[in-house]
Amino acid sequence: MVRVRFAPSPTGPLHIGGVRTALYNYLFARKNKGVFILRIEDTDQARLVDGAEEYIIESLRWCGIVPDEGINEGGKYGPYRQSERIHLYRQYADMLVAKGDVYYAFDTQEELESLRTESEKGGDTFIYNASVRGKLKNSLSLPESDWKALLEKGESFVIRYRMPFNEDIHFDDIIRGHIVVNTNTLDDKVLYKSDGMPTYHLANIVDDHLMEISHVIRGEEWLPSLPLHIMLYRSFGWDAPLFAHLPLLLKPDGKGKLSKRDGDRMGFPVFPLFWPYGETARGYREEGYYPEAFVNMLALLGWNPGTEQEILSMDELIDLFSLERVHKSGSRFDPEKASWFNHHYLQLRTDNELAMEFREILRAKGYHMDIVELEDVIALVKERVSFVREFWQETDFFFKAPDTYDSEVIKKRWTPETAGQLLELKDLLEKLDVFTTASIEQAVKSWIEDKGYNTGAIMNAFRLVIVGASRGPHMYDIISWIGKEETLKRIERGVDEIGGQVR
């Protein structure tokens, strides 16, 4: 039975790397008809941040990553919030005490700090392990009566893991393969603190065991903890789950881990949703990304389906996902590729759906549009946009006459004949009874032909007075949409204003 968990600590907004971890766990669970669990690891009270837990839940919900068991879903392995499981951890710490695999340490922060500084002076790093523990203040170095007295006195202590001296620990990672680490490079990590709180290592192993986790899929930053975790499983006499450590998400230039600062500097979010507390952060949702696009992009940052196919729905991702295809090396984040995905998913939406979304933006600007009319505008420019918000810059001239006229275009296109020709065109359009794209096109074309005018010259100047610049879709589509009256007004005004400027 596959049982996997996403186990975030609510210490701030969830980085997109964290969302990817959740996603891979979810895909793996669904693919293998297993169970996906959301467990909140909130035992480090000092690092808790208000709003972070809700943020995590809302981020997963937005992405369509649905837990089977979790703090809101419940389940028979609950509670799923570690702060509600506190009573459990002490007994497991005591189990290790009984086995002699952990010990009480009474060194104060200050004592440890000065040992660290001393080692640094000698060019070393201080490691609390077999080579020094005998000289420090703990239940291995002190006579039993002494340390027991300290405990009774209520002296502050931590429980540390007694890492064996000079032993090679062998273990496997699904992504990284076989790994060997010598215990002399490891320290005697704290498992339990005198405030009655377990550290991450103890709570994490105990819960993975109790929740019958089959595969631990998590970020590469946890790989250095794996030797300790393997040792803890041995000490408890439990079978360890299988491990898969996911590669880092790298900056766009590939140099180092993707951070909020990179996003701020280069103009893209590194969080799924807007983070409103303290130092705020931009979110993909608020930037106008569709969750399908975001998920698709994220899935391919560190994994590939083994084919060239890049557009993959959640169901297709589930179908194709395997841990064996997760990359070993870090994945470079590409902001342009991210908008490429959104472009694709936007094109899949109907004109009606897009019109409904764009209408909100228009409403905020004070334009109240009919959906059916808006659908026609959407259809004309859809291919040019990657985000709904971009519709405005592609279509503003449908809703309002130009405020200015592009001076470059005037310089290039406005000749002494232009004003006269445009006024002729105005008369022609005024006489048209049927004002559709086809009827206007036919009338204008035959007028240009009859007069022997230059089509390019007329149409460029025409666009200038209607749009204000040389952009936008087909002219006849624009004017049939804005209507005869508005078209005539814009010609008149343009001729007036540009004519005035040119003279």
By CB under 6 A, is residue 222 in contact with ligand GLU?
yes
For ligand GLU, the binding residue among 15, 137, 160, 218 (CB under 6 A) is 218
Minimum gap (Å) between residue 204 Cβ and ligand GLU: 5
Nearer residue to ligand GLU within complex by CB, 331 or 386: 331
DSSP structural state of residue 240? P
Structure tokens at 82: 């570690």
With beta carbons less than 8 A apart as the criterion, state whether 303 and 327 touch: yes
For ligand GLU, the binding residue among 3, 4, 9, 323 (CB under 6 A) is 9
Minimum gap (Å) between residue 276 Cβ and ligand GLU: 21
Structure tokens at 360: 């909100």
For ligand GLU, the binding residue among 4, 8, 52, 138 (CB under 6 A) is 8
Minimum gap (Å) between residue 218 Cβ and ligand GLU: 3
Tell me the window of 3-11, 145-153, 252-260, 281-289 that interacts with ligand GLU (CB under 6 A).
3-11
Gap between the Cα atoms of 484 and 490, Å rounded:
10
Nearest CA to 179 out of 231, 223, 241 is that of 223
Nearer residue to ligand GLU within complex by CB, 204 or 487: 204
Neighbour count for residue 447 (Cβ, 10 Å): 17
For ligand GLU, the binding residue among 4, 7, 22, 326 (CB under 6 A) is 7
Nearer residue to ligand GLU within complex by CB, 41 or 69: 41
Binding mask 17-46 for ligand GLU (x = CB under 6 A): ------------------------x-----
41-80 binders of ligand GLU (CB under 6 A): 41
Gap between the Cα atoms of 347 and 387, Å rounded:
10
Nearer residue to ligand GLU within complex by CB, 323 or 444: 323
Length of the chain: 503
**Number of shown-chain residues binding ligand GLU (CB under 6 A):** 8
Tell me the window of 4-12, 115-123, 342-350, 407-415 that interacts with ligand GLU (CB under 6 A).
4-12
CA distances 415 to 69, 274, 447, 488, 503, Å, are: 72, 51, 19, 20, 11
Tell me the window of 7-15, 274-282, 411-419, 442-450 that interacts with ligand GLU (CB under 6 A).
7-15
With beta carbons less than 8 A apart as the criterion, state whether 46 and 35 touch: no
171-210 binders of ligand GLU (CB under 6 A): 200, 204
With beta carbons less than 8 A apart as the criterion, state whether 263 and 270 touch: yes
By CB under 6 A, is residue 477 in contact with ligand GLU?
no
Residue type, 499: G
Nearer residue to ligand GLU within complex by CB, 204 or 418: 204
Nearer residue to ligand GLU within complex by CB, 222 or 367: 222
Catalytic annotation present for 251: no
Minimum gap (Å) between residue 10 Cβ and ligand GLU: 9
132-151 binders of ligand GLU (CB under 6 A): none
What one-character-per-residue DSSP string does 286-307 give?
Answer: TTT--HHHHHHHHHTSSB--SS
Structure tokens at 428: 């022609």
Minimum gap (Å) between residue 53 Cβ and ligand GLU: 12
Residue type, 82: Q
Minimum gap (Å) between residue 12 Cβ and ligand GLU: 10
Of the listed 31, 193, 257, 260, which one is catalytic? 260
Neighbour count for residue 257 (Cβ, 10 Å): 14
With beta carbons less than 8 A apart as the criterion, state whether 338 and 252 touch: no
Minimum gap (Å) between residue 286 Cβ and ligand GLU: 24
Nearer residue to ligand GLU within complex by CB, 22 or 464: 22
What one-character-per-residue DSSP string does 350-417 give?
Answer: -HHHHHHHHHHHHHHTT----HHHHHHHHHHHGGG-SSTTHHHHHHHHHHS--SS--HHHHHHH--TT
With beta carbons less than 8 A apart as the criterion, state whether 137 and 105 touch: yes
Non-local (6+) Cβ contacts of 35 within 8 A are 1, 2, 3, 4, 29, 68, 69
Nearer residue to ligand GLU within complex by CB, 222 or 340: 222
Active-site residues: which are they?
260
Q: Which residues bind ligand GLU (CB under 6 A)?
A: 7-9, 41, 200, 204, 218, 222
